[in-house]
């Protein structure tokens, strides 16, 4: 059962029977949505996902524990707010963007204008540097330091800042790793502390504008989330020695896995284990999955 307090939009469950004060801490929402405008974060999300959030914002049900790491993130941002004046903290800027769009209802192309917004975590004017702060898992950057969605988000923010005559030449993400211990860093040749600065490649203004316009169209058309937006983990065929916990090799198709098994010194000691693909965001991180036909059809 969920408990809804007067004035709350979000409905929350308390599945772990936490005391009321803990629930009240976890329920605090500092996200400031600006109606009729697109933020960088919204643009990199699927169009249908954002549409369902707008449509069902009063019907979304979460457990209070889903907000634990959000609270940690907010705590870090409170430290940012106390930095000296040479740093510009959480500056919100916006810019209009105009483009040609085919309106299927009218059957004609027309000029559209939308407003996109940015709220950078930390802007350092003297260094022309924009920094985004993230609390994340070590696995988010262990194999590919720069996540594509992070790169897109920072470059959208840079585009908006530059349109407001705020020069930016350097993009960085300050990662706080919430699950990195000393043993982990030694095992995986990872950073020595649970903190890392990641440099983000900068796009040209033309490249960024083209990307933004494409993402705006995704939102306008409320397109179903693609594999990238669903954080799709493809199916895998694992070649494993019988009784072993870890795989010797992983493949995306059976024929390659069988070829690998056949080439082992003792093929009979190995087996191929199939792992079905899954959409990690749909399963674990989407607040509107119960309203989504894709989720119902695949995981319902």
Confidence check: pLDDT of 258 > 90 = yes
Q: What percentage of residues in the chain have a pLDDT greater than 70? A: 92
Sign, CA torsion 216/232/68/54: positive
| pLDDT for residue 32 | 65
Q: Indicate if 196 and 257 belong to the same structural domain.
A: no
The reply to whether 293 falls in a domain is no
The reply to whether 51 falls in a domain is no
| pLDDT for residue 4 | 40
Number of residues in the chain? 300
Measured from the Cβ of residue 96, the count of other Cβ atoms closer than 10 Å reads: 10
Confidence check: pLDDT of 40 > 70 = yes
Q: Indicate if 219 and 249 belong to the same structural domain.
A: no
- CA 288 to chain CA centroid, nearest Å: 15
Q: Indicate if 38 and 178 belong to the same structural domain.
A: yes
- Per-residue pLDDT of 119-151, as tens digits, reads 999 999 999 999 999 999 888 888 777 899 999
Share the mean pLDDT of the chain.
91
- Per-residue pLDDT of 44-79, as tens digits, reads 999 999 999 999 999 999 999 999 999 999 999 999
Q: Indicate if 177 and 245 belong to the same structural domain.
A: no
The reply to whether 295 falls in a domain is no
Among all chains, which residue has been given the structure tokens 């993230």?
Answer: 134
Q: For the residues 202-216, what does the mean pLDDT come to?
A: 98
Q: Indicate if 145 and 116 belong to the same structural domain.
A: yes
The reply to whether 16 falls in a domain is no
Please report which confidence band the pLDDT of residue 184 belongs to, taking 50, 70 and 90 as the band edges.
Answer: low
Q: Which residue has the higher pLDDT, 147 or 29?
A: 147
| pLDDT for residue 178 | 87
Q: Are 66 and 27 in contact (CB under 8 A)?
A: no
| pLDDT for residue 291 | 97
The reply to whether 180 falls in a domain is yes
The reply to whether 269 falls in a domain is yes
Q: Indicate if 128 and 255 belong to the same structural domain.
A: no
Residues 6+ apart with CB under 8 A from 178: 69, 72, 135, 136, 137, 194
The reply to whether 228 falls in a domain is no
Residue 269 domain boundaries: 235-276
Q: Indicate if 148 and 255 belong to the same structural domain.
A: no
The reply to whether 57 falls in a domain is no
H helices within the chain, ranges in order? 20-27, 40-43, 47-55, 68-81, 148-163, 182-187, 205-220, 254-263, 280, 293-299
| pLDDT for residue 145 | 77
Q: Indicate if 193 and 79 belong to the same structural domain.
A: yes
Q: How many domains does the chain have?
A: 2
Confidence check: pLDDT of 83 > 70 = yes
DSSP 110-127: EEEEEEEEEE-SEEEGGG
Specify burial of residue 187 (Cβ count, 10 A radius: 0-12, 13-18, 19+): exposed
Q: How far apart are CA 52 and CA 231, in angstroms?
A: 18
Q: For the residues 225-246, what does the mean pLDDT come to?
A: 95
Q: Indicate if 120 and 91 belong to the same structural domain.
A: yes
Q: Indicate if 163 and 259 belong to the same structural domain.
A: no
Residues 6+ apart with CB under 8 A from 133: 73, 76, 77, 80, 121, 122, 173, 174, 176
Q: For the residues 31-43, what does the mean pLDDT come to?
A: 83
- Per-residue pLDDT of 87-101, as tens digits, reads 999 999 999 999 999
CATH number at residue 118: 3.90.320.10
Q: Indicate if 114 and 209 belong to the same structural domain.
A: yes
pTM: 0.88
Alpha-carbon torsion angle 56, 91, 163, 94, nearest 10: 30
Domain end (from 201, 223, 245): 223
Query: Which of 164, 165, 169, 188 lies closest to 177 in space, CA to CA?
Result: 188
Q: Indicate if 219 and 241 belong to the same structural domain.
A: no
| pLDDT for residue 161 | 98
């Amino acid at each position: 059962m969920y408990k809804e307090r007067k004035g709350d939009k979000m409905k929350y469950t308390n599945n772990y029977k936490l005391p009321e004060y803990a629930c009240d801490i976890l329920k605090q929402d500092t996200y400031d949505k600006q109606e009729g405008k697109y933020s960088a974060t919204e643009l990199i999300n699927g169009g249908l996902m954002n549409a369902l959030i707008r449509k069902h914002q009063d019907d979304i049900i979460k457990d209070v524990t889903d907000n634990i790491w959000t609270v940690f993130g907010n705590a870090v941002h409170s430290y940012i707010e106390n930095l000296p004046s040479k740093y510009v903290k959480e500056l919100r800027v916006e810019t209009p963007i105009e483009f040609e769009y085919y309106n299927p209802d009218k059957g004609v192309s027309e000029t559209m204008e939308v407003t996109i917004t940015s709220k950078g975590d930390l802007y350092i004017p003297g260094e022309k540097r924009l920094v985004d702060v993230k609390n994340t898992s070590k696995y988010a950057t262990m194999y590919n330091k720069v996540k594509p969605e992070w790169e897109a988000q920072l470059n959208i923010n840079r585009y908006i800042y530059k349109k407001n005559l705020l020069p930016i030449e350097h993009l960085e993400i300050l990662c706080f790793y919430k699950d990195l211990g000393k043993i982990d860093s030694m095992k995986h040749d990872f950073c020595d502390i649970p903190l890392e600065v990641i440099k983000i490649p900068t796009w040209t203004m033309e490249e960024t504008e083209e990307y933004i316009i494409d993402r705006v169209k995704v939102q306008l058309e409320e397109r179903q989330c693609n594999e990238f937006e669903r954080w799709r983990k493809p199916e895998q065929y694992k070649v494993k020695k019988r009784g072993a916990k870890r795989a010797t090799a992983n493949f995306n198709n059976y024929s390659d896995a069988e070829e690998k098994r056949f080439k082992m010194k003792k093929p009979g000691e190995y087996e191929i284990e199939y792992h079905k693909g899954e959409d990690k965001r749909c399963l674990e991180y989407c607040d509107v999955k119960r309203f989504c036909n894709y989720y119902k059809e695949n995981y319902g």
